Amino acid sequence: MKLNDLRDNPGARKNRTIVGRGIGSGKGKTCGSGVKGQKSRTGVAIRGFEGGQMPLHRRLPKRGFKTMFPKDYAELNIGRLQEAIEDGRVDIKTVITEDKLLEIGLVSKSKDGVRLLAKGSLTTKIEIAVAGASVSAIAAVEKAGGKVTILAVKKEAVKKVKAA
């Protein structure tokens, strides 16, 4: 094969439709935009507009509360932690920290740390230090003879909340 033999796959390149070249072209006069009105002109974005009627997103009632400072935790289930212990990736003789979990690849980077959740089962005695844990996850670790240490909230997050 030579460079002058190279070709695109059939149908890989499609010619642009030329509009406004008379009625014989099939895209003449209105150029496929129909007739008159706002939508036949360029630069139109009327999402949710219902012709003057109150739009659906304004008719429906607002529900709940959305916090301005949501926490971004990397979640870790105790079942995945047990699998990593069985594979020999986690050293159970030392305290398991967020940095070690990140290094092993059990969790991904997050702003506010790691949160331990109770999906799965834990049979090994471990000592783990995390930013948060569910009540059932703490109970599962303590049942196996281990200990969960909840780390203090970062000072920056507390300052932001007090300033607001």
Structural domains of the chain ordered from first start:
16-64 (no CATH), 74-163 (3.100.10.10)
CA distance to 20, 29, 65, 127, per residue, from 42 (Å): 15, 15, 38, 63
pLDDT for 42 beyond 70: yes
pLDDT for 158 beyond 80: no
Each residue of 119-150: pLDDT tens digit? 999 999 999 999 999 999 999 999 999 999 99
N- to C-terminal Cα separation, the chain: 68
pLDDT for 155 beyond 70: no
Query: Span 75-103, mean pLDDT?
Result: 92
Burial of 101-118, coded b for 16+ CB within 10 Å and e otherwise, reads beeeebbeebebbbbbbb
pLDDT for 163 beyond 80: no
Model's pTM, two decimal places?
0.56
47-56, 71-80, 119-128, 151-160: the lowest-pLDDT one: 151-160
Q: How confident is the model at residue 46 (pLDDT cuts 50, 70, 90)?
A: confident
